[in-house]
């Protein structure tokens, strides 16, 4: 089987797209519209699209009269319970003109680790896609504990890609691509492509950032991209503003080449952060 190239995304059979909280919450909630337009175009071409969307807590915060992300778990869970409902409504309203129905799928890490739960999740996702439903996946923040405090949905998106045998994974960010070091630092150079197995020695990525609405950062995206690429999934990291171009297979973002022999995929190693070393 020939490994997927960036330009092949347009004709890929199955694509997972992940969008973060900061891209679709608060004053950026209006960006849901353009993102949905791009997803609908790919869906209309026959691509099976799965959206992994963060944003439940951030969306729920205003309804709880919160100005910043709550620090205690119970309030985070309450915000997620309110926000998930509103978030799915916003997506469905944006999808309505295209006559596309969304299907909500909430998962925890345990669901993907337990063989029976994993099998059930795969069967449900396959059926949704077979019915031409657009699954919208999120961490089940109302009951989750670890992921809600420390993680990000980048890893969840990679695991969903593995679960359903996706051809490509698009991780949407606030910047156009990855850089050799934080882009606001002198000497930062954009990374166009990462070959499979490249240990990215000498690159620096900021550690996980917790901001007023969510968690994440370049480090989590690199880690998730390497996890998915090891399974034979091509991964593109780019800006949410470039989602249409990404789904068209244009030369945007940072492309992680997939493992050409995914059945023999090695475990991915650690990545370099501001304080950690990558590749030794």
> CB under 8 Å to 121, separation ≥6 — which residues?
105, 107, 111, 112, 163
> Terminal CA-to-CA distance of the chain, rounded, Å?
32
* CA R_g for the chain: 18
* Known binding residues for substrate: 54, 141, 153
In the DSSP assignment, the letter for residue 13 is: S
Q: Please, are residues 51 and 169 in contact by the beta-carbon 8 Å criterion?
A: no
Between CA 74 and CA 47 the distance in angstroms is 39
Return binding residues. 18, 54, 141, 153, 173-174
CA distance 16 to 90: 19
- Binding-site residue numbers for ATP are 18, 173-174
CA pair distance 76, 78, nearest whole angstrom:
5
């Amino acid at each position: 089987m020939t490994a997927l190239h960036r330009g092949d995304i347009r004709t890929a059979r199955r694509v997972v797209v992940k969008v973060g909280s900061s891209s679709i919450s608060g004053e950026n909630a209006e960006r849901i519209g353009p993102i949905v337009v791009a997803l609908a175009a790919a869906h209309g071409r026959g691509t099976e699209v799965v959206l992994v969307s963060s944003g439940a807590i951030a969306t729920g915060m205003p309804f709880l009269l919160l100005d910043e992300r709550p620090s205690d778990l119970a309030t985070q869970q309450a915000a997620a319970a309110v926000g998930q409902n509103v978030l799915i409504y916003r997506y469905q309203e944006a999808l309505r003109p295209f006559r596309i129905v969304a299907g909500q799928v909430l998962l925890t890490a345990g669901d993907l680790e337990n063989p029976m739960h994993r099998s059930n999740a795969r069967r449900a996702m396959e059926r949704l896609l077979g019915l031409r439903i657009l699954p919208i996946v999120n961490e089940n923040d109302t009951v989750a504990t670890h992921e809600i405090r420390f993680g990000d949905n980048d890893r969840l998106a990679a695991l969903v890609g593995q679960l359903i045998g996706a051809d490509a994974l698009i991780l949407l960010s606030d910047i156009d691509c990855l850089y050799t070091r934080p882009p606001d630092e002198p000497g930062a150079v954009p990374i166009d492509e990462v070959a499979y197995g490249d240990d990215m020695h000498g690159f620096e990525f900021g550690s996980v950032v917790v901001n007023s609405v969510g968690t994440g950062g370049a480090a989590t995206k690199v880690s998730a991209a390497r996890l998915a690429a090891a399974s034979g999934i091509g991964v593109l990291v780019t800006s949410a503003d470039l989602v249409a171009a990404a789904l068209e297979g244009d030369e945007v973002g940072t492309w992680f080449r997939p493992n050409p022999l995914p059945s023999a995929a090695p475990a991915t190693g650690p990545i370099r952060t501001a304080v950690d070393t990558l590749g030794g």
